[in-house]
Amino acid sequence: METDKKNPVLREGFLVKRGHIVHNWKARWFVLTPDKLLYYRYEGGKRDSCQRGKVLLKDCVITCPFLEYENRPLVFKLQTKHGVEHFLEACSREERDEWAADITAAIDKLQATDGGKLMKQKDLPESRLHNINLSEVLDSMYDVHSGIKLSNHVEQGSTYSNCFSGSAVVDWLVFMQLVLTRGEAVTLSSALLEEGLLRTVGLKSVEAFRTAGLSEQFMDDSTALYSFSDSLKKRGSVKAEKSLSAVELSGKVIKRGYLLKQGHRRKNWKVRLFVLRSEPAFLHYYDPTKDDISPAGGFSLRGCLISSLDDNGVPSGVKGNIQGNLFKIITKSDTHYFIQAPTHQQKMDWIDAIREQS
């Protein structure tokens, strides 16, 4: 990470940004400094020297999570003091929350430096869980237009329809301002589960409900599945079906992140969201510019060979002047994948994680 005493880099990495005029989504390289958020194009395997834009952080307001994009649950919104809205998507819930926390800390520090008053612990609003009406919460969750979205989820080779993940429930409760924190959301969700207003779906949530104490019955986890109780049938019942693609996508997510991949035909480099799974071991990649929740491609890691490529010069098989942080995966069917990580450390982390599964 770059260091500059006057304008140090607090955080940097890929985020997917929605355009202001044409509302398409593009991967950009973001750099957070104490007073601004800069973003750059990342083409040809390297960052552009000219920045594409910047967001001055003073008096900005951040909303995380921001759930108005149905197929993009990892978006957060940054609104400037002039009302300009920036919609940014991270590669994972953890990455989204870390970006939001770092940006919020920078905004708070600017406010304090400017003579503004930061909220002390005693100034924070009290918990909203007192005297809350669980039936009203359920009605809001069940609302077709503004409620939680039902979708298909995969667990251990089975596809469950008309359900939602634990983390989606927590995100929704925070976004709707029914609670203040994710911890409160888990407590409220556990109460809904205990009262039979929600029910467990699949093995992970069933086991947690059976073995955990009351405060831990509900899981803030993207792989723990839930649905509305059987008495609420209008929005569809949960069904479990098996398919080949479901088996591929049913493994435990080991790692996910933005990497650059060289295309097989045109040999151009594009940012892709990579997801590494185990049992079965697969590596899938997604096009972050599209709302499609299905992978753009992927392959089994059984019998794969993975190697780090030399940082000196352009390796054989790589098109263009692409150098640094490259690695190659050769599948069992002899398909060659050339991939570039943003940093050397990330490259080595991905190589180690993939080798453990191959």
- pLDDT tens, 196-246? 889 899 888 888 887 765 556 799 998 899 999 876 655 455 555 545 467
Q: What is the pLDDT of residue 300?
A: 92
pLDDT band at residue 115 under the 50/70/90 scheme: low
Confidence (pTM): 0.75
Q: What is the pLDDT of residue 168?
A: 93
Tokens 């918990």 locate to 127
- For the 248-356 domain, the top CATH level (class) is mainly beta
Tokens 């612990």 locate to 121
CA–CA distance from 14 to each of 60, 62, 112, 168, 318 (Å)?
21, 18, 29, 23, 22
Domain boundaries, the chain: 11-113, 134-228, 248-356
Per residue, what are the HEC states of 174-186? HHCCCCCCHHHHH
The phi, psi pair for 322, rounded to 5°, reads -100, 120
- As a whole number of angstroms, the distance between CA 53 and CA 30 comes to 10
CATH number for 134-228 (one of 1.10.10.10, 3.40.640.10, 3.40.250.10, 1.20.120.530): it is: 1.10.10.10
Which of 70, 71, 53, 58 is CA-nearest to residue 17?
53
Q: What is the pLDDT of residue 3?
A: 45
Fold match between domain 11-113 and domain 134-228: no
- As a whole number of angstroms, the distance between CA 263 and CA 239 comes to 37
State pLDDT tens for residues 13-24.
999 999 877 788
Average pLDDT over residues 186-193: 88
CATH 2.140.10.10 describes domain 11-113: no
The phi, psi pair for 330, rounded to 5°, reads -110, 120
State pLDDT tens for residues 32-53.
999 999 999 876 666 666 777 8
Q: Specify the higher pLDDT residue, 124 or 332.
A: 332
Q: What is the pLDDT of residue 120?
A: 44
